[in-house]
Structure 1
Amino acid sequence: MAVTSASGPTVPASRRVLAVMVMVPLLAALALWAFAWPAARMAPRDLPLGVAGPAAAAAPLEQRLASHEGAFEIHRYADEAAARTAVRDREVYGAVVVTPQGPHLLTASAASPVVAQLLTQAVAAQSPPGAPAVPVTDVVPTPAADARGAAFGASVLPLALAGVAAGALVSLSGLRGGRAVTAVLGAAALVGLTGAALAHSWLGVLTGNWWAEAGVLALTVAAVAGGVAGLHALLGKSGIGLGVLLVVLLGNPFSGAAGAPHLLPEPAGLVGQWLPPGAGGSLLRSVAFFDGAGAAGPALVLSLWAVLGVTAVLVADRRRPAPAAGTSAAPVPSQAAAAPAPRA
């Protein structure tokens, strides 16, 4: 039986029950796919890897690494100094230096502890049986307080949730125009300061410039909050749902923060870097551990999300029709409502 209300007939109760029964499993399947599929298919895919040393000596190693089709993207360097510079500049995740004594592996666990371990195993597998262990130098190590990078990887979801909460609260509280933008940016700035105080000053999992890290955290939250508020301004309440889908269900598992974007199946790795969680994680790595190397791309992505989001909020506020002259904002009761009820 359909339920009626003052605004007209509503959806029958049986259909609403059926909608809940169908939508919940679909959302669960989507969440399982988004989180479990990338984790189950982690493997190197065009992973940037350097090979340094004389061409004649490095060629056999380069050919053996290239035999893993699609796994590595080989970059050639003249010597160990050039390879170390490339690792610090985030051009490659690591480099194999061919020396007269044998191969020497350079890694950067700060870029990804998972990739550093993977490279160590891959290079060791290329050594002849009985050969001594390949020496490994961690050029840019992870902080001692977060040797496995677990705390860094876990920081993406809280930032995403903070941004979604800020964008949703601003939208649903009725803030419009400049006040909405001020609330979004103010909340993002405070989250950035709080996050830097916790992650850098207290936990010690970030080791870069304190203010730069706070700025990255704030920009990440502003990108998420601005995106959610902008989608709400364009689409209404369904825009908040779309924002949650993009940022939490897709952006978080596709971010590559716990491993690396080059370990995720395509197109997850690429899509994740165009969403705020992935771009924010990459930018935070660059600022916290690599003196800003490789920061331009992620910073541009986050800035686009933030600017486009607040622009949508401002444009939607200007397009909202103003009340007609001589009318008040309060609704005028109808004659039927104002008339007294007839006596029995």
Structure 2
Amino acid sequence: MNTEVGANDRVKLVAVVIGLSAVIGVMLLAFVLPSVNSGAHELKLGIAGPAAATTQITSSLETNKPGAFVTEEFADADAVRDAIRHRDVVGGIVVDAAGPHVLIATAGGAPIAQTLTGVAGALSEASGTKVAVEDVVPLTADDPTGAGLTALALPLVFGGMMPAVVLVQLFPRSIGRRVVGAVGVAVVAGFALTAILQFGTHSLDGNYFLTSLALTMGISAISLPLLGLESLFGIKGFALGALTMMFVANPLSGMATTSAWLPAGWGSFGQLLPPGSAGAAVRSLAFFDGHGAGTSVLVLACWIGVGLALCLVAGMKKAPSPASEAEAALV
């Protein structure tokens, strides 16, 4: 008997070692692969100027950076600037009487802005004259690298996960109290995080109230589905949701770079998950006057709706029937 028990323990130990090692490896791949495979691919770039000049620029971009940009012609420099502010393009190249100059938006993603600055350098070498770079939508002066926005990713995900963990323990039988608690945490945390980033580190700009609401929706879109999954399926449901948020949604959120910089397809998929849509909404509201935030807000609203629906179904399943209440009263 003891021999069999010892053998079973050894098998369990080996399984745990191999299983956890595999999980750690998958965790590494989840964060590394999007970063390694990220880069410029089919970035929408506005161009304006004489036809001969724009044709030459388009041809040069395709030769030197094949597949990196998709160009769209505009009437003039102001039209390109408006397109950047409305998030229709990530930057632009304009040729006028003074020569070519490059328009960037560091608030739209530092790696993209750096790539376009490199394009300006290449144009300078080719033309023999300095090509000016204009930052149409810059990050804040106190946080020119966007470190605060980058750092928001983990607090956002944990801000949605932790309330679900705590509320399940505090209110094991009351789904209603869990939902109220999760929404309350999301509101307080959303406004607090925005205050830290906007008034503390000065990393964000724009309308404080609207940006706070976006973060509130982002936290709610994580915590409410996790509560619903736990209420319906127990710890297995919560674990599945938490792992998805942490190791799929978080690396694909594009919080630091925007989704356009992530591998083709994966960036778009990440925007359908709460961290990605919350990050995009915050970026749009904080720097672009809300342009481009509509789809992200709709995605967050859908996740919140799914979470509330799961909690409602779980509450209906756990609610005692009239017959069971009558039996309990007789006893």
Q: Note closer, same or farther for the CA distance 1:141–1:285 as it changes in structure 2 (3 Å cut).
A: same
Specify the alignment match of 1:307 in structure 2. 305
Bigger shift: 118-127 or 42-51? 118-127
* AA of the residue aligned to 1:313: C
Q: Note closer, same or farther for the CA distance 1:160–1:175 as it changes in structure 2 (3 Å cut).
A: farther
Aligned-pair distance for 1:12?
4.5
Aligned-pair distance for 1:29?
1.1
Specify the alignment match of 2:42 in structure 1. 46
2:58 and 2:264 mapped to 1: Cα distance? 25
Contact 1:171 1:229 in 2 (8 A): yes
Q: Note closer, same or farther for the CA distance 1:325–1:148 as it changes in structure 2 (3 Å cut).
A: closer
Q: Note closer, same or farther for the CA distance 1:128–1:205 as it changes in structure 2 (3 Å cut).
A: closer
Aligned-pair distance for 1:267?
3.3
- Structure 1: any 5+ residue segments left out of the alignment? 3-8, 333-344
Specify the alignment match of 1:206 in structure 2. 204
3-state SS of 1:90 partner: coil
Specify the alignment match of 1:69 in structure 2. 66
Aligned-pair distance for 1:231?
1.9
1:73 and 1:44 mapped to 2: Cα distance? 10
- The equivalences for 1:272-311 within 5 A come to 272-311=270-309
Contact 1:176 1:314 in 2 (8 A): no
Could you state the TM-score of these two structures normalised by the residue count of structure 2?
Answer: 0.91
Contact 1:52 1:83 in 2 (8 A): yes
Contact 2:93 2:102 in 1 (8 A): yes
Aligned-pair distance for 1:136?
0.5
| Runs of 4+, deviation exceeding 6 Å | none
Specify the alignment match of 1:325 in structure 2. 325
Residues 239-258 of structure 1, C-alpha deviations (whole Å, 9 max, x = no match): 11112211111111111111
Contact 1:164 1:243 in 2 (8 A): no
Count of residues in Structure 1 that have an aligned counterpart in Structure 2: 323
* AA of the residue aligned to 2:54: A
| Structure with the bigger percentage of helix | 2
2:231 and 2:78 mapped to 1: Cα distance? 52
Specify the alignment match of 2:117 in structure 1. 120
2:110 and 2:315 mapped to 1: Cα distance? 46
3-state SS of 1:274 partner: coil
Specify the alignment match of 1:6 in structure 2. none
Specify the alignment match of 2:24 in structure 1. 28
Contact 1:176 1:313 in 2 (8 A): no
Specify the alignment match of 1:337 in structure 2. none
Residues 61-99 of structure 1, C-alpha deviations (whole Å, 9 max, x = no match): 112223333211212111001000000001111100012
Contact 1:192 1:217 in 2 (8 A): yes
Q: Note closer, same or farther for the CA distance 1:215–1:197 as it changes in structure 2 (3 Å cut).
A: same
Aligned-pair distance for 1:328?
4.1
Contact 2:111 2:261 in 1 (8 A): no
* AA of the residue aligned to 2:325: A
1:187 aligns with 2:216: no
Contact 2:123 2:131 in 1 (8 A): no
Residues 98-126 of structure 1, C-alpha deviations (whole Å, 9 max, x = no match): 12332111111111122111111024224
Residues 127-169 of structure 1, C-alpha deviations (whole Å, 9 max, x = no match): 5546122101101110011101112111111111110111222
2:325 and 2:147 mapped to 1: Cα distance? 60
* AA of the residue aligned to 2:206: G
Contact 1:184 1:226 in 2 (8 A): yes
Specify the alignment match of 1:85 in structure 2. 82
2:126 and 2:287 mapped to 1: Cα distance? 36
Contact 1:46 1:73 in 2 (8 A): yes
3-state SS of 2:47 partner: strand
Could you state the TM-score of these two structures normalised by the residue count of structure 1?
Answer: 0.88
2:72 and 2:208 mapped to 1: Cα distance? 33
Specify the alignment match of 2:225 in structure 1. 227
* AA of the residue aligned to 2:161: V
The structure 2 residue matched to 1:196, chosen from 194, 197, 203, is 194
1:232 and 1:60 mapped to 2: Cα distance? 58
Specify the alignment match of 2:33 in structure 1. 37
2:194 and 2:290 mapped to 1: Cα distance? 16
Contact 2:157 2:250 in 1 (8 A): yes
Residues 162-208 of structure 1, C-alpha deviations (whole Å, 9 max, x = no match): 10111222234315333222111111001012112211121111111
- Structure 2: any 5+ residue segments left out of the alignment? none
1:57 and 1:122 mapped to 2: Cα distance? 15
Aligned-pair distance for 1:60?
1.0
**Bigger Rg, which one:** 1
Specify the alignment match of 1:160 in structure 2. 157
The structure 2 residue matched to 1:131, chosen from 104, 128, 131, is 128
1:312 and 1:105 mapped to 2: Cα distance? 49
Specify the alignment match of 2:101 in structure 1. 104
